[in-house]
Structures are given as C-alpha cells and as structure tokens.
Structure 1
Amino acid sequence: MSSHSSEDFDEEVFGPLLSISESSLVELAAKIQADTPQTNGPPSPESSTGRLVRRIAGSYNLVHIIELGPDFKLVVRVPATGWGDGLTPTAAQAIESQVTTMRLISAKTSIPIPQVYAFDTTTDNTIGAPYICTSFVPGRSLATAWFDTTVPMPLQDRRLRTLKGLAGCLAQLAQFNFPKIGSIHANGNGGLVIGPCYDWEEKEDGRVSINSSGPYDTAAAYMHDHFVATDEEGVWDRAATMVTKAAMRFLPIRNSEGFALSVPDFDSQNILVDDSGNISGIIDWDLVQTVPRCVGYSCYPGWITRDWDPLVYGGPDEELENSPEELEGYRRFYDQALGDAMQRSGDWEFTRKSHIWEAIWIAALKRVNRLEICCKLVQEATGDKDGARGIMYDLGSGEGDWPNLEKEIEAFLSQG
C-alpha cells in the first residue's frame, strides 16, 4: 500500500476520518463494484485482493483511490464534515445536491467528470462515514502540467489545446437555465428544484461545517445576505467597500434571463490532462450551485485570470506564473475558442470581460480579497500603475476625489 499515513494530514480538520482502515475502504469499494453494473469493471474480486493505492487530503475531503483489479480503480471521497458536529442535515443535503448535479451533467453532456456510482450521507456503512464513490479519472493535474517542459509536445501547443478543449466542455453547460440562485436537488418525481446555497464554514478549532442560505430569486437578494460591508473598520476597508459597491452596479446581471451553472472551483488543480494537453477530467464539484450568468460557466478559467486577483498572483517574475501579457493572450484565445463552441451566441457575450466581472464578484463576497482587487480596478480605471494604493488611502481617509474616481470606474467598466 502506498497511501499516506494519518500523521501527514490535519487531525483537527479530519479527526477520526483519518483512521478509516484500508480493509473497510476496499470492502466498500468491492461491494459498490459488485452492485453497480455501469462500473464496467471485471467481476468483483474478493476484498482481500484490492488495495488502497493512495489517500489524498484536500481542503475539505479525504480522497481514497482504491484498486480492485488490473487497471480498475474507484475513488471514495469522504468529506471533512463526516464526523462530530459536522454531521448535520445540511451537510447531508449538500452531498445529495452535488450528486444530483454531477449526474445531471453526466447525463446531458460529454464533459469528462467523475461518474457517481454510489453515495451515503450517513455513518451507517462499512467505513462509518459519509462518502461519494466515483469512477477514477486518469490524467495529471494541470497545476503541474501547465508549466512542465519535460514532455515532448511543445508547451504552448499543449496549453492552447487544453484551453480549446475546456471551451468545448464548458460550452455544453449553456443548455441549462435555472430560475434561482442555489443548489440543484431532485424533487422525487423525476424533476429538479433549486434548494439553498451551501458554504463551508471553518471554525476556530479547525473543524469544518456547512451552512446554508437561500435560495434566491435575484442576485440582489443573494448579495444582501453575502456582502460584508466594512465601512467603519478603517481607512482601507472604507475605501474597498466604496469601490466594490460602485463596481457592483455595473455587473451585467439580468435576473429575468435566469441563472447558470458554474464550476465551483474552476482552477488548474481540478483540471486533469494527458501529456498532449487533452482534457481527461474536471473534478471537485463540492458545493456546486447556480449563479448570475455573467459569472457562470462562460467565465475564463481561474489560472488565466490570476493577475486580477492580486492576493494570489505572484507576479511575472515568479517561476510558475504567467506575465499579465501572457495571461491576456490566453484570455483572447479562450474567448475565441468559447465563441466558436457557442456559435458566438448566448452567455459568450460575457466572456471577454468575465475576468473583471468575476473579480468584482469575488471582491463583494470575500473580504480578504477585496482590497487588492479594488486596487487593481482603480489602477486599470485611472491608468495610474503606481498610485492606486495612494488613491485608495486618500479615498478611505475622506480626502480623495471620489466623484471623479467613480466616473473613471464607470467609464472603465462601461467601455466596449
């Protein structure tokens, strides 16, 4: 067995889940394989012949890769909420929604996502914890492949093939339209309903839980519950709140057109590729939900918009970062590729400026990212590459020329 030991992982987050035994995981996987015709695997082996190939800790899941025979693997994902006070009806409903959404995407598109074979929201099973069992998706993470120059195919060719492939995948989500912002649930009669939005909550002791809100008929109602204003907490917070609120007015949100699906974490670590840059899988659909169409599936992938979220962007001098010019070039390519895939129609109208719309959306929802995104927005709106922070400081101090800055932000966001 080549799995990691429990001491490699955060015991505060995963607790007793780290003690789930290899034998119980193999037994569960063998039973699922025997009970699930669509596994297309060999006849179910005795559990003693299977093995736990690898245990991986994500932020909110333990991922177990289990081999049951030659070239046949299953994946058992156990959420960090699967023990103690994380075991709530809300956490169970979030799992059910994820499964419903993944099965919907699998049934209606050819997007290569893991196939859900079985799930359980309770602890009444072989491993004593909630889980989702899916197919194993081969490939390597794009987080490493994007900068890997050791494979024979030229790096730029692989990158462009990956972006074109992703555009073809995501364009298929155009067929879905939903009446509310929230999560997708089965209604028991073969139909779908929109339920609450689910969010992770990290407690001070390291444990993880899931809370819920909504669903919401409008983006304004959603933002009313999720935007944290910080007007009175200091110079920087006051400035960031003013700029964010001003920018939010220009988000191209049209509630009457419904809401779209969004890949919940559309970043390179969740894209799997082969050595030629072909997409083999899109993984990690935790807490997938519907969103305003301008920040939905037609947005750019996260790793080509890093320059618009300065808190995470290392800068062009970092070894594993693209320069802003390179990122802009990849955005132009992706915009055209998605336009080709969508026949220049529908939500493609949002793609060209989606890095800006998404940055504003992030600033509104995540206080920790807000100031740096606002500085970036002020920099672009004013053309002042070096003075944006000074402008923000003056604004928060009550000494800045807010009417003029507001006009510059409006002009920047309104330009074609």
Structure 2
Amino acid sequence: MLKQLMGWFLPTSAHKRSKQVTSNRTKPTDISNTQNSPSQDESTSTSLNDRKSSIIKGWCDRLKAKYKNRETSVADEDSTDYSTNGTTVTNNSEYEEDEDHPRCDWKTIDAIPASSYEKLVSHTCTFSGPLKQLKRFAYKKGTYNAVSFIGVLTRDKYDSYVVRVPGHATVEHWTAQDAYMLEREVQTIEYIRKNTSVPVPQIYSHSSWFNNRLHHPFIMMKRLPGKSAYSIWFDDDFGEADPEVNFRFGDLPSHAVEKKRINFLRSLARIMTEINALSFDQIGIPVIPLDCSAPPSIGHTYHWDNTSSDVSTKRPALSSTRDLIRTRPDSLCTPSLFSNDSKAHNRLLGTLKLLDIIFSQPIFHPTPSAPETFTLHHADLDLQNILVDDMGNITGIIDWDRCTTAPRCIGASSAPLFLQKDWMPQYLNNLDTSPYMAFTTHRYRQMYAAALAEQGCADAQFTSKSAMYQAGVLALMDHEGGNVTDFLEKVMRSIPQFRADVDECLVALGMGWPAGEQVLEKEVRKLFEPEMPDMDVLREADVEIAVVEWMLAFEYGIE
C-alpha cells in the first residue's frame, strides 16, 4: 500500500534523480545500511521506494510508541525557566559548551554587579506605567560574550531586555579597534531593522568605551521572542537515551520534526532573500550613520587570531572578488618550505598550482559588463543564533558581530553554517557535534536553495555550492576555520578522476603533469560552476510529509 502511494506521488524522473544524488553523496558512516539491512551489497541494491518505506515505517513506529505510551516529554530540554511571569531564557547546551576565547577575562566581567545592569536598563528605558519590578533574571556566557537578561514589570505589561558585554571588554584587553567593530555592529543592525522586515534586535543603548553606567563596553537590546532553532531541529527526546549515538537520528528525524525543519528553512529563506536585496559596492564592513543621513560606505575590518594577543590585523575595503582571492595562505609562503627537500618543494608548487586553477574559475571573476555588487554576510548564522517559534517560524536573528559585505557567492544566499559542515575541516565536521548529520547535509542544502528560489532570489544559483566557495575563501585567509589542505583534499575527492592519494597528486602537479592539469582544469570548472536548485527536492519533501501524515492518521488515528 505504501509503495503504491509513493508511486502515485513521486514521478519516475524524481526517482531517477534521487537515486543519482544518493549514489554520489559522500557517506562517512552509512547509518541506514548498517541499521536496516543484513549486508552492504543488499542495501546498495535497495530501491528508492524501499528506502522511503523503511524511513517512513521507522517514523511511524517511533510516533506510535510515543502516542501509545502517552508519556509527557519536555519540549526543549535545553530551556530553563529563570523567572516568574512566564519568561523563559533559551539556554542552549551547544552554545554553553563553546570554549572561552583566550582574550576573554571572565573573572572581571563576571564581577559586574547585577545591580549595575538593572540601573542601566532603569535609566535607559521609558516605561508605560508605574514600575513594579526590575530584576536581572538570567546571566549566561558564550565564547565571546556575556549576556544579562533583565525583566521589567510595570502595571500594564512585562518586557525583557538583553545587555551584552564582550568577554574581553576590560581595560587590559579592549582596544580602539574593538570599539570600531562594536560601533559597526550596532550600525549594521539598525540599518537592517530600518530597511527590511527582518526580525533583528532593537538597540536601546550602547557604548564602545568605559565611560558609562556599566563601566564596560556593552550593547543593550530589546529581547526578541522565541527560542534557539536547536529546539525544533531535533525530536523532543533526542539524546536522552545516549548522547553518544545522536548520529543515528540526526539524519532521520520524525515526520513532525522534518516538517518543522522544512518550514524553518523556508522561513529562513524568506528572511535572507530580504537581506540579499541590500546591495553594497565594496567588500568590507558597512559604515552607516545611525540617523541614516547618508548612504552606507564600506570601511576596513579588524581581525584577531585565536590567541590571547590583543594585536589585530587590518584588512582594507576591496572593490572586487578578484581582489579578495589574490592572497595566498601565509602557510604556503614560508621561506623554510623552499628547502632542499624536493618532494616538499614540489608539493608546495602543486598546491599553489591547484589553488590557481580553482581561483581562476568564473565564479571568482564576475563579468565586468556591470559593476560588481556585494551582500551582507552573517559571520555565525548557526542554529543558536536563529530564534524560532514552536513550528519553526523565525522570530529573530541575533549575533551580528563581524557582519561584513561579501561576494554574492558567499553572501546572504549562502547556506547557514549548520548546512556547511561537510566542507569544514574534520575537527568541525564530525558526528559528535550538532547537527549530527552524516549523509543529509547536502539534501537539506538543496532544499534551502530551492526555498530561496521560491522567493525569487536570483543568487540561489550559488547556494548549493556555497559551502565549497566559503571553504575556499577561508582557506586563502588562514582564519575562521580555514584549512587549505582539507579544502584541496575535498575538492580532489569530489572529482571522480582524482580519487588517488591527494598528496601524491599535488607532488605530481608540482613536478609537471600536463595531462593531469588538463583534466583538473576541465573538472574543476564543472565542479565550481553555479547551478540553480532542483525544485523537485523541496516538492518531494512536501509530498513525503503529506504521505506520512496520511498514513499516521489512517493507521493510528493520530490527528
């Protein structure tokens, strides 16, 4: 019966396309095969219908057991109610477990009295009625910032505010460059708020120096509604049995969570399409008068390495993508590498030659027929920085620190970070960290690209490959998780003709390998060519959810 239903809803062409995508997808751990079939050969020959039947049966069985037992589960195990008046602060464990940045001085920041935060809010806000209560009801820290949540109760209503203090906002560590970047963040948030309908925080007050009531640099904002998107990306009981085997379920959520995921991706696509419409003429950081008395200009940026040093690197504004990709990693320009070791020398030459092939592609050299424009790039668009309601509709996007303008191939239409992990270095791309997906990252990235195309976003042509583009640009910069060796290995593994030892191929290129170079140039061009998404991916996902819901209602009477 189920196979007949799937046959009715899914066209033959869709079956063929899905099989091809599945066969080409890299699977570090093929969970579906090891869990559901007696042998590798047998699972390889399993038809698409059988695979879908197995997935749907698993969904049905899990939901049937849940509804049969009628057990009450916690909707968000990472949320804690810190206050009265029904106010909940999302306290996401993934966010909390981030390591402290070496520049942060948490001893000093933690010592700021709660009363100082309360006085700041009290003196900043104008309340609609007599003040009944004002209190800091929660305090939490991430990698870079400490956040205080202040609740305000008046006769008419309850409001809450957020005061964010950088972990290095101390006299010993804070610099004029830090102040510059904080001012740019405030300006960018306000510019987005005034020129789009994107739900960003409303800023009530900020200070980039120490001459304020808090005696530390800060940003004070109205707290946005919603909770971390982690809460809807996983099932309610996700990780309860054994967190070490989360990977078994990250790729195959229940149909209810799958429905929320797709709704979430569509909601994010609507928002990022609006962001994508904000156009700029250079690469850098927006410099925007808060009163909008002049159009935005683009300024230089400052960057810090992952050490305790307060010394920053200044990067000027750039006029084109060509200017951005001219640099080469410092690790490949070290004189000591040019030693008497001929193999090391040839490996270096081969690496530089492959980088030249990659970054000579048209994606990094837009046609000069019209002036190149750039879009905003959120530096940390991950699940913990996207707020949602219970159904996955986005209620806010936070943490716009280090937001810059970027080439369109890695700009606002890029896949969010949790859908880029397959192109990140291995220490970030593993089954031990969220979102615990081994073989569906590319599928969800295709869905997101299709959702952008639904919104009429022309830059959706970059989305499916944006993780690869981003990995390449970061590899050139030697920062923000970039790794040139990892990137080149993934590129080579993506080309069927080059599945040999990557290191040996690089050495061969350095020695001189005309035939190899010719094949590489042809295949790299195809690999990096933008492509509009296949809209069937999203439509098929909608159909699968509809079929499962019909089956559940029919077999188990679940409304």
Indicate whether 1:60 and 2:147 are aligned. no
Q: Distance in 2 between matches of 1:189 and 1:155?
A: 42
RMSD: 3.3
Indicate whether 1:198 and 2:284 are aligned. no
Paired residue secondary structure (1:84): coil
Alignment match, 1:45: 131
Indicate whether 1:22 and 2:127 are aligned. no
Q: Distance in 1 between matches of 2:423 and 2:383?
A: 16
Report the TM-score when normalising by structure 1. Answer: 0.84
- State whether residues 120 and 131 of structure 1, in contact with CA within 8 Å, keep that contact through their aligned partners in structure 2: yes
Alignment match, 1:37: none
Paired residue secondary structure (1:257): coil
Aligned residue among 156, 173, 176 for 2:258: 156
Q: Which amino acid aligns with 2:178?
A: A
Change in CA separation of 1:56 and 1:212 when aligned onto 2, cut-off 3 Å: farther
Indicate whether 1:248 and 2:359 are aligned. yes
Alignment match, 1:174: 276
Q: Which amino acid aligns with 1:262?
A: H
Q: Distance in 2 between matches of 1:45 and 1:241?
A: 65
Alignment match, 1:260: 375
Q: Which amino acid aligns with 1:291?
A: A
Query: Which residues in structure 2 correspond to 1:155-304 (within 5 Å)?
Result: 155-187=257-289, 190-202=293-305, 204=307, 206=308, 208=310, 211-224=313-326, 227-228=329-330, 230-231=332-333, 233=337, 240-250=351-361, 251-254=363-366, 256-304=371-419
Larger Cα Rg: Structure 1 or Structure 2? 2
Stretches of structure 2 lacking an aligned partner (at least 5 in a row): 1-81, 84-88, 92-98, 239-253, 338-343, 532-559
Query: Which residues in structure 2 correspond to 1:376-395 (within 5 Å)?
Result: 376-382=490-496, 387-391=500-504, 394-395=507-508
Query: Which residues in structure 2 correspond to 1:394-413 (within 5 Å)?
Result: 394-395=507-508, 398=511, 401-413=516-528
Query: Which residues in structure 2 correspond to 1:266-345 (within 5 Å)?
Result: 266-315=381-430, 320-324=435-439, 326-342=440-456, 345=457
Paired residue secondary structure (2:225): coil
Change in CA separation of 1:44 and 1:207 when aligned onto 2, cut-off 3 Å: farther
Alignment match, 1:38: none
Aligned length in residues: 400
Report the TM-score when normalising by structure 2. Answer: 0.64
Paired residue secondary structure (1:50): strand
Change in CA separation of 1:12 and 1:331 when aligned onto 2, cut-off 3 Å: closer
State which drifts further: 221-230 or 169-178.
221-230
Q: CA deviation at 1:148?
A: 3.0
Q: Which amino acid aligns with 2:169?
A: G
Q: CA deviation at 1:260?
A: 1.1
Paired residue secondary structure (2:495): helix
Q: Which amino acid aligns with 2:140?
A: I
- State whether residues 162 and 279 of structure 1, in contact with CA within 8 Å, keep that contact through their aligned partners in structure 2: yes
Q: Distance in 1 between matches of 2:432 and 2:380?
A: 26
Alignment match, 2:553: none
Q: Distance in 1 between matches of 2:430 and 2:501?
A: 17
- Cα deviation, 1:323-355, whole Å, max 9, x if unaligned, reads 33x12221221111101112xx53233223323
Q: Which amino acid aligns with 2:387?
A: L
Q: CA deviation at 1:143?
A: 3.5
Paired residue secondary structure (2:401): coil
Stretches of structure 1 lacking an aligned partner (at least 5 in a row): 35-40
Q: Distance in 1 between matches of 2:285 and 2:375?
A: 11
